[in-house]
Structure 1
Amino acid sequence: MKILLTFPGQGPQVPGMLHDLPDTDDARDLLSRATAVLAEPVLQLDSPAALRSTRAVQLCLFIAGVAYARQVLHTGIGVDFTSGLSIGAFAAAVSAGALSYEDGLRLVALRGELMEQAYPRGYGLSAIAGLTQSQIERIIAQVHSADLPVYLANLNADDQFVIAGSEAAMSRACELARGQGASRTRRLAVSVPSHCELLNEPAHKLANAMAGAVLQRPGIAYLSGSTGRVLWQPERIAEDLALNMARPVHWLDAMVSAYQRDVRLAIEMPPGAVLTGLTKRVMEQGEALALSQNPLSLIKTLAGRLTGR
């Protein structure tokens, strides 16, 4: 039986999240290195005002993801796969050993800046639950136009999707979705239209910057949240990281792929818990747990019981 670490995308960020990292030498070292690389006091990134910035949110999630993953790994839990949704992919790549922490910091900071500059206002993401993919696609086809751009961005489960686009287009699409029986529609705490062609230009700028980073074959399997495929080649991981902001998220496919590869324990890094619920729907056997909701000692005991390690 295998173990997977999952890393959330934007949405679960909370003020003070970097101040609440584990009180360990390793976490303090990561914060110190982040301050040096970014040339700014990193502990100011998690204030309520700072978290209105896409760049700050993404850096906080990245740093937290790496810190908590290291805490898990240092307990002796044998991790076989890492996978991240959107910005979570960068923490997954660092935790797998494919990308250095310092390069990750530089790339995540640039990623956030590029996304903010592309769409500083009037765009974002909305979640729709309770409809099928074909229903969502028909609604998008009905609403989408040059003036009202809207796209299918995340395929999280059979009946849970995220759309990206302008505020007006998303509002109209959600209205139609509710009229067709959607159980819930919700504007997400994301201020850019991620995972659609609206971000093609900033994605390719990030790909150019990725050429300056050094990637290597990971020691832990890197499972792409965009494609659902396990990637080992450094150049393919680099492409996946750079372009994922403009590609739809296929989280359901990724979790099906993990389950088919004998994953029976998925551990979501704080501050997220949403991925855990989505993963539970796929894992007919085994467990999916959020570290933010369960003590690490319990997770370690469960990991030993499931894997016999």
Structure 2
Amino acid sequence: MSSLWVFPGQGAQQPEMLHGLPVSHETRECLAEASAVLEQDALTLDSAHALASTRAVQLCLLIAGVSCARILIQRGHRPDYVSGLSIGAYAAAVVAGALSFADALRLVSLRGELMQQAYPQGFGMTAIMGVDIGTLEGLLAQVNSPEQPVYLANINAEAQQVIAGSHGAMRQVALLAKKSGAGCAKLLAVSVPSHCPLLETPAARLSEAFSSVDLGPTQIRYLSSSSARLLNTPEQLRDDLANNMCRVVDWHNTLRMAYERGVRLHLELPPGTVLTGLARRQFEPGQAIAFQGARLDTLDAMLRQEASRDS
């Protein structure tokens, strides 16, 4: 049996999330490197005020994910697979050994700025729960227009999707979804319309920045959350990371692919536990656990137990 380490996307951020990281050599190193590369104190990024910025949110998610993964690696653990939802893919690529942490910081800083500049207000993302994807796509077709754009953005589970677009269009889709049996429609803490054609222009600009970045082959198997496929060449990784902001996230099938390949231990790196909840639906009789809220010695025991099963 194998293990999968996953890294969450925007919406999982929490005030003071960097200040709450475990005290360790790895955490201090990551924060110091981030501060040097970004030319600002990384610990200024996680205040409630700072997290109103897409750039700050995405940088905090990257730093938190890489820091905690390195803590576990230093303690002798190593995943069989890594994957990240949206911005989480950058932390996954760093842990997979394909992208340096310094380059990831520079790219994520630019990514956040490009996304924020493209849609400074009036747009976002909404989770729709309780309707199937076919029904939701029909509702999107009814509402979507050049004046009120709205698109499918994430497929999180069979009856849990996320849409992206203008606030007005999302409200219309949410009302129609509730009439069609949706149990909940929740506006997410994301200020840009990610994972849809609205971000094709900033994705193209980010692709240009990637052309000067060296990527290597993956040392740990990397599952793309856009294609739900294994990627391993630098060219594949470059395309996946640069363009995932404008491609639908298929997290449901990414987890299914992992399970079909023998993954039975799903570990969510900080912050949050949302991905753990989604995985529990697909990982029975396996285990889905989150780093946040768990003791390190408990994680040690679970990861060692899984490794001993593989040997």
Deviation at 1:285? 2.1
Q: Look up the equivalent residue of 1:98 and give its one-letter code.
A: A
Q: Tell me the residue number matched to 1:112.
A: 112
Q: Look up the equivalent residue of 1:54 and give its one-letter code.
A: T
Structure 2 CA distance, aligned partners of 1:146 and 1:26? 47
Aligned: 1:35 with 2:32: no
Q: Which segment is superposed worse, 71-80 or 148-157?
A: 71-80
Q: Tell me the residue number matched to 1:64.
A: 64
SS of the residue corresponding to residue 249 of structure 2 reads coil
Deviation at 1:21? 1.4
Deviation at 1:20? 1.2
SS of the residue corresponding to residue 298 of structure 1 reads helix
Structure 2 CA distance, aligned partners of 1:193 and 1:289? 29
Q: Look up the equivalent residue of 1:118 and give its one-letter code.
A: A
Q: Look up the equivalent residue of 2:59 and give its one-letter code.
A: L
Structure 2 CA distance, aligned partners of 1:127 and 1:202? 23
Structure 1 CA distance, aligned partners of 2:306 and 2:220? 19
CA contact (8 A) 1:132 1:158 kept: yes
Structure 2 CA distance, aligned partners of 1:10 and 1:170? 18
Q: Look up the equivalent residue of 1:25 and give its one-letter code.
A: H
CA contact (8 A) 2:62 2:90 kept: yes
Superposed CA deviations along residues 48-102 of structure 1, whole A, max 9, x for unmatched, are 1100000000000000010011112122123111100000000000011010000
Q: Which consecutive residues of structure 1, in runs of 5 or more, have no partner in the other structure?
A: none
SS of the residue corresponding to residue 110 of structure 1 reads helix
Q: Look up the equivalent residue of 1:183 and give its one-letter code.
A: G
Q: Which segment is superposed worse, 62-71 or 286-295?
A: 286-295
Q: Tell me the residue number matched to 1:232.
A: 232
CA contact (8 A) 2:270 2:291 kept: yes
Runs of 4+ aligned residues of structure 1 deviating over 2 Å after TM superposition are 303-307
Q: Look up the equivalent residue of 2:143 and give its one-letter code.
A: V
Superposed CA deviations along residues 244-278 of structure 1, whole A, max 9, x for unmatched, are 00000000111011111111101001112111111
Q: Look up the equivalent residue of 2:29 and give its one-letter code.
A: D
Structure 2 CA distance, aligned partners of 1:303 and 1:31? 26
Q: Tell me the residue number matched to 1:294.
A: 294
Structure 1 CA distance, aligned partners of 2:182 and 2:261? 33
SS of the residue corresponding to residue 142 of structure 1 reads helix
Q: Which segment is superposed worse, 194-203 or 177-186?
A: 177-186
Give the % identical residues: 51
Q: Tell me the residue number matched to 1:55.
A: 55
Q: Tell me the residue number matched to 1:276.
A: 276
Structure 2 CA distance, aligned partners of 1:280 and 1:81? 17
**Aligned residue pairs, count:** 309
Structure 1 CA distance, aligned partners of 2:34 and 2:303? 31
Structure 2 CA distance, aligned partners of 1:78 and 1:264? 14
Q: Look up the equivalent residue of 2:256 and give its one-letter code.
A: V
CA contact (8 A) 1:128 1:174 kept: yes
Q: Tell me the residue number matched to 1:261.
A: 261
Superposed CA deviations along residues 102-157 of structure 1, whole A, max 9, x for unmatched, are 00000000000000000000000000001000110011011111111000000011
Superposed CA deviations along residues 193-233 of structure 1, whole A, max 9, x for unmatched, are 00000000000100110111110011111111111111110
Structure 2 CA distance, aligned partners of 1:194 and 1:296? 34
Q: Look up the equivalent residue of 1:244 and give its one-letter code.
A: N
Structure 2 CA distance, aligned partners of 1:128 and 1:294? 29
- The TM-score, its normalising length taken from structure 1, stands at 0.98
Structure 2 CA distance, aligned partners of 1:273 and 1:230? 24
CA contact (8 A) 1:223 1:230 kept: yes
Q: Tell me the residue number matched to 1:191.
A: 191
Q: Tell me the residue number matched to 2:163.
A: 163
CA contact (8 A) 2:225 2:251 kept: yes
CA RMSD of aligned residues (A): 0.9
SS of the residue corresponding to residue 239 of structure 1 reads helix
CA contact (8 A) 2:3 2:306 kept: no
Aligned: 1:219 with 2:219: yes
Q: Tell me the residue number matched to 1:92.
A: 92
Structure 2 CA distance, aligned partners of 1:123 and 1:83? 27
Structure 1 CA distance, aligned partners of 2:306 and 2:107? 36
CA contact (8 A) 1:7 1:272 kept: no
SS of the residue corresponding to residue 71 of structure 2 reads helix
Q: Look up the equivalent residue of 1:99 and give its one-letter code.
A: L
SS of the residue corresponding to residue 125 of structure 1 reads strand
SS of the residue corresponding to residue 61 of structure 1 reads helix
Q: Look up the equivalent residue of 1:170 and give its one-letter code.
A: M
SS of the residue corresponding to residue 64 of structure 1 reads helix
Q: Tell me the residue number matched to 1:46.
A: 46
Aligned: 1:15 with 2:20: no
Structure 1 CA distance, aligned partners of 2:39 and 2:212? 19
Structure 1 CA distance, aligned partners of 2:148 and 2:25? 49
Structure 2 CA distance, aligned partners of 1:213 and 1:285? 41
Structure 2 CA distance, aligned partners of 1:59 and 1:85? 14
- The TM-score, its normalising length taken from structure 2, stands at 0.98
Q: Look up the equivalent residue of 2:8 and give its one-letter code.
A: P
